[in-house]
């Protein structure tokens, strides 16, 4: 079997009315799986390659499953806003137990054949060239009563007592609400699984079918289907892709300059993908700290069962620590990962030009500094490229690849090839201050500071954003980044875009008092020994000082903003800046910004990404709001010409063909109710 399951294009076709929706019960009860399970002849599934989604559901309806050790197996339907619709919600718990089944379905986890065998999802592992023969023999053994004839829906030995199951369901619901209080999808899925446990598998199948068909037309599914196709649109890039006109070179040895949190995360990602890596630091203490961070990252994977001790040692052996550039003479790529200090980066690149091979890729992890400024003092600007990772780099999936007009296509292809090998999703953008991701994020943090200086409570702001579905609010995020980098990045934006920056003294005042964020235990929040963030009333003193310096007055309207109004004043400036990014050609498509907002900024995927969400409200609505704020509060909120043009013509930001227009008042209200 090699099956990726349900055709997502078909799902989108149903949503757009191009394909007729099947009748209730058709998917789960009357089609294929029931026929297979009730067959008078033994059915054995041979899994080689993929058994994903509907492919796995068909396999689970068979009387046995044989797999290769490397097959990919899972039920990822929640990633497109629906639940398994071929009986997966009922059969998986009966094969591997309720807790593991909930984990696999709710996280859309894909596992390998070996793990599936350990869990009991497959009955045996076979070599690829022996798979079919093994499956045939297994079927004959069943037919001749040498092996049991098992109907999955009849199994209950792994389900446990009903009281225990109820506790598991309660825990799963609590976890789902904690992760996103306003995403109903996982709760609907839990309800369906519970129905089968409490009322029997047939009742569960019917509820699964009804729920599946209801979810197809939900806003969440339409949004997530958009995200699915937006990911496909990122590659290929015409003329610059791994299979196109510019083939990548073989990259074997990579140097990383700087072993801080970012650098050590990048090193971890590289050695886990079998690259030989050199980590360069300025002295023995910093080098040891960097090596220790890498070991901690690997040890975490060891604890999680993603590495065994032998793999741990082999992976770490790929890393060499150095204190100078002498060993850079044969590296294929260098990734500079130091703090956001222009002069320091310039100095490093002078050294790299001196010691590295003439065809070496010279990458910087800067999140905001213009690449032309970084390469100002060297003569090989065609080899400079931005490799903007997101922290923690060994976990976060996005890599923003930044190129200037001088960057050679070969260099871009090389970095894209490395991105693929370390399993990063690349979004390629043109060079400017802040690129795409930081430019979209910066107006949100600026607006947050504006609102606080005018009287709004910090923690109301963060709460509004997290209730919307983002992982953390702007102030918690700034604590995580650290105020040193935040100030440096802010200075870059102030120099490049002075007319649309709001300058608050709040962060500089806190920075002067060595209150610099999570790393020092105090920022906008205070942090306990476990790293838990807690509101800190001392912040009010800094806010009042900031107001006194700037002469800002409390604004009663801002003090009393509703949660929806807070959300709009935080996110609409980011949408406005994204429009400028598109207008300037920094990003190729609005859908690329959707992926960037989800994978780098924590924008909730079930809302479709920042631009798709904006389209659900309407460009006219957003433009009117910004225009009114600009009249009242100044240039910071002034709508871009791109947004104004789209609004005047009632045009969307993302392709109009992919849009499902909702009533904006209903949609905004749904964010909080």
Residue 630 CB-density burial (10 A; 0-12 exposed, 13-18 middle, 19+ buried): middle
Residue 352 CA to residue 329 CA, distance in Å, equals 10
Q: Which domain holds residue 457?
A: 438-670
Report if residue 222 sits inside a domain: no
Residue 5, pLDDT score: 66
Q: Which residue spans within 472-543 are E strands per DSSP? A: 525-527, 533-535
Res 107 pLDDT > 60: yes
Residue 306, pLDDT score: 86
Choose the weakest-confidence range: 231-235, 360-364, 533-537, 644-648.
231-235
Q: What is the mean pLDDT of residues 144-170?
A: 95
Compute CA distances 450 → 353, 422, 447, 460, 503, whole Å.
42, 39, 5, 14, 8
Question: Minimal CA–CA distance to 411: which of 342, 357, 343, 350?
Answer: 357
Residue 32 CA to residue 561 CA, distance in Å, equals 54
Say which residues have a Cβ less than 8 Å from residue 653's Cβ, sequence separation at least 6: 575, 578, 579, 582, 590, 611, 614, 615, 619, 646
Q: Are 576 and 598 found together in one domain?
A: yes
- Cα 270 → chain centroid: 19
Beta strands 253-257 and 361-364 are unpaired
To 10 degrees, what angle do helices 437-453 and 458-468 make? 140
Question: Minimal CA–CA distance to 185: which of 93, 89, 65?
Answer: 89
Residue 37 CA to residue 607 CA, distance in Å, equals 38
Report if residue 393 sits inside a domain: yes
Which of 431, 446, 470 is a domain's end point? 431
| Partner residues linked to 44 by β-bridges | 64
Q: What is the mean pLDDT of residues 238-254?
A: 71
Choose the most confident range, by mean pLDDT, from 185-194, 245-254, 490-499, 530-539: 185-194
CB 268 within 8 A of CB 298: yes
Confidence of residue 437 (pLDDT cuts 50, 70, 90): very high
Q: Are 199 and 75 found together in one domain?
A: yes
Residue in the structure block whose two tokens are 């009991």: 120
Compute CA distances 605 → 221, 227, 231, 390, 477, whole Å.
10, 7, 12, 17, 18
Report if residue 486 sits inside a domain: yes
Report if residue 247 sits inside a domain: no
Question: Minimal CA–CA distance to 485: which of 645, 367, 631?
Answer: 367
Res 644 pLDDT > 80: yes
CB atoms within 10 A of CB 378: 17
| Partner residues linked to 522 by β-bridges | 517, 526
CB atoms within 10 A of CB 600: 24
Residue 44 CA to residue 142 CA, distance in Å, equals 9
Q: What is the mean pLDDT of residues 588-598?
A: 95
Which of 416, 431, 446 is a domain's end point? 431
CB 608 within 8 A of CB 228: no
Report if residue 146 sits inside a domain: yes
Residue 534 dihedral angles phi and psi, to the nearest 5°: -130, 140
Residue 171, pLDDT score: 96
Confidence of residue 19 (pLDDT cuts 50, 70, 90): low
Confidence of residue 3 (pLDDT cuts 50, 70, 90): low
Q: For the chain, give the mean pLDDT.
A: 91
DSSP conformation class of 52: E
Residue 517 CA to residue 515 CA, distance in Å, equals 6
Res 32 pLDDT > 80: no
| pLDDT above 70: percentage of residues in the chain | 92
Compute CA distances 56 → 44, 74, 116, 133, 643, whole Å.
12, 7, 11, 20, 45
Q: Are 497 and 567 found together in one domain?
A: yes
Q: What is the mean pLDDT of residues 92-111?
A: 97
Q: Are 129 and 94 found together in one domain?
A: yes
Read off the pLDDT of residues 76-85 as tens digits, 9 standing for 90 and up: 999 999 999 9
Q: Are 71 and 187 found together in one domain?
A: yes
CB atoms within 10 A of CB 146: 10
Q: Are 58 and 114 found together in one domain?
A: yes
Res 654 pLDDT > 80: yes
Res 662 pLDDT > 50: no
Structure-block tokens of residue 638: 């002034």
Res 44 pLDDT > 60: yes
Q: How many domains does the chain have?
A: 3
Report if residue 226 sits inside a domain: no
Say which residues have a Cβ less than 8 Å from residue 667's Cβ, sequence separation at least 6: 219, 616, 617
Sheet order of strands, 64-67 included: 44-47, 64-67, 124-125
Res 665 pLDDT > 50: no
Q: Are 442 and 400 found together in one domain?
A: no
CB 91 within 8 A of CB 103: no
Q: Are 365 and 460 found together in one domain?
A: no
What positions carry a catalytic annotation?
Answer: 57, 77
Q: Are 527 and 598 found together in one domain?
A: yes
Question: Minimal CA–CA distance to 478: which of 525, 439, 512?
Answer: 525
Residue 276, pLDDT score: 98
Report if residue 326 sits inside a domain: yes
Residue 466 CA to residue 534 CA, distance in Å, equals 15
**Which CATH number covers residue 328?**
3.40.50.720
Choose the most confident range, by mean pLDDT, from 14-23, 304-313, 496-505, 567-576: 567-576
Residue 20, pLDDT score: 65
Q: Can you give 336-387 as a three-state secondary structure string?
A: ECCCCCHHHHHHHHHHHHHHCCCCCEEEECCCCCCHHHHCCCCCCHHHEEEE
**Which CATH number covers residue 30?**
3.90.226.10
Q: Are 306 and 166 found together in one domain?
A: no
Q: What is the mean pLDDT of residues 144-166?
A: 94
Q: What is the mean pLDDT of residues 67-94?
A: 95
Q: Are 364 and 427 found together in one domain?
A: yes
Confidence of residue 36 (pLDDT cuts 50, 70, 90): confident
Confidence of residue 31 (pLDDT cuts 50, 70, 90): low
Q: Tell which wins on pLDDT, 96 or 26.
A: 96
Report if residue 454 sits inside a domain: yes
Residue 9, pLDDT score: 74
Res 2 pLDDT > 70: no
Q: What is the mean pLDDT of residues 256-281?
A: 98
**Which CATH number covers residue 515?**
1.10.1040.50
Q: Are 339 and 451 found together in one domain?
A: no
Which of 200, 217, 234 is a domain's end point? 217
């Amino acid at each position: 079997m090699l099956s990726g399951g349900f055709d997502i294009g078909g799902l989108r076709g149903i949503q757009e009315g191009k394909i007729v929706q099947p009748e209730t019960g058709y998917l789960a009860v009357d089609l294929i799986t029931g026929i297979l399970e009730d067959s008078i002849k033994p059915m054995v599934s041979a899994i080689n390659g993929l058994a994903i989604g509907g492919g796995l559901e068909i396999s689970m309806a068979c009387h046995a499953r044989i797999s290769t050790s490397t097959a990919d197996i899972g039920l990822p339907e929640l990633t497109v806003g629906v639940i398994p619709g071929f009986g997966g919600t009922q059969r998986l718990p009966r094969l591997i137990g309720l807790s593991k089944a909930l984990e696999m379905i709710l996280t859309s986890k894909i596992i390998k054949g070996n793990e599936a065998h350990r869990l009991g999802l497959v009955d045996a592992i076979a070599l690829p060239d022996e798979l079919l023969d093994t499956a045939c023999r297994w079927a004959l053994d069943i037919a001749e009563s040498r092996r049991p004839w098992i109907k999955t829906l009849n199994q209950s030995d792994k389900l446990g007592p009903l009281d225990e199951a109820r506790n598991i369901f309660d825990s799963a619901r609590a976890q789902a609400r904690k992760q996103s209080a306003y995403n109903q999808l996982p709760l609907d899925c839990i309800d369906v699984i519970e129905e089968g446990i409490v009322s029997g598998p047939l009742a569960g199948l019917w509820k699964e079918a009804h729920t599946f068909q209801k979810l197809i037309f939900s806003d969440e599914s339409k949004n997530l289907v958009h995200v699915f196709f937006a990911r496909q649109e990122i590659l290929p890039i015409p003329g610059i892709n791994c299979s196109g006109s510019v083939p990548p070179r073989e990259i074997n040895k990579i140097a990383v300059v700087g072993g801080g949190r970012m650098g050590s995360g990048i090193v971890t990602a590289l050695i886990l993908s079998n690259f030989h890596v050199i980590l360069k630091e300025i002295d023995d203490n910093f080098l040891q700290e960097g090596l220790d961070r890498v070991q901690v990252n690997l040890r975490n994977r060891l604890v999680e069962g993603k590495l065994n001790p032998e793999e741990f040692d082999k992976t770490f052996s790929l890393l060499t620590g150095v204190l100078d550039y002498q060993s850079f003479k044969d590296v294929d790529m260098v990734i500079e990962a130091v703090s956001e200090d222009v002069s320091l980066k310039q100095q490093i690149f002078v050294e790299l030009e001196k010691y590295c091979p003439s065809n070496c890729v010279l990458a910087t992890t800067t999140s905001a500094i213009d690449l032309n400024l970084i390469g100002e003092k060297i003569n090989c600007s065609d080899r400079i490229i931005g490799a903007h990772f997101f922290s923690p780099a060994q976990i976060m999936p996005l890599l923003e690849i930044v190129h200037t007009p001088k960057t050679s296509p070969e260099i871009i292809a090389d970095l894209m090839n490395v991105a693929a090998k370390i399993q990063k999703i690349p979004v390629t953008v043109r060079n400017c201050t802040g690129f795409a991701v930081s430019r979209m994020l910066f107006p949100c943090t600026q607006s947050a500071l504006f609102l606080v200086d005018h009287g709004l409570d910090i923690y109301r702001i963060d709460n509004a954003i997290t209730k919307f579905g983002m992982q953390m609010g702007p102030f918690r995020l700034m604590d995580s980044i650290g105020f040193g980098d935040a100030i440096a990045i802010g200075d870059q934006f102030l120099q490049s875009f002075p007319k649309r920056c709001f300058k608050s003294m709040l962060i500089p005042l806190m920075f002067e008092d060595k209150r610099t964020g999570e790393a020092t235990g105090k920022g906008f929040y205070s942090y306990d020994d476990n790293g838990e963030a807690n509101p800190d009333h001392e912040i009010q003193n800094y806010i009042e000082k900031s107001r006194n310096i700037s002469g800002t007055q409390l604004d009663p309207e801002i003090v009393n903003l509703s949660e929806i109004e807070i959300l709009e004043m935080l996110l609409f400036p980011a949408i406005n800046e994204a429009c400028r990014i598109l207008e300037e050609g920094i990003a190729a498509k609005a859908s690329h910004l959707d992926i960037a907002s989800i994978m780098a900024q924590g924008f909730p995927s079930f809302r479709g990404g920042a631009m798709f969400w904006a389209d659900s409200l309407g460009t006219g609505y957003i433009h009117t709001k910004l225009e009114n704020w600009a009249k009242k509060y100044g240039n910071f909120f002034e709508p871009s010409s791109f947004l104004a043009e789209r609004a005047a013509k009632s045009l969307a930001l993302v392709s109009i063909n992919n849009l499902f227009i909702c009533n904006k008042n209903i949609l905004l209200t749904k964010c909080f109710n």
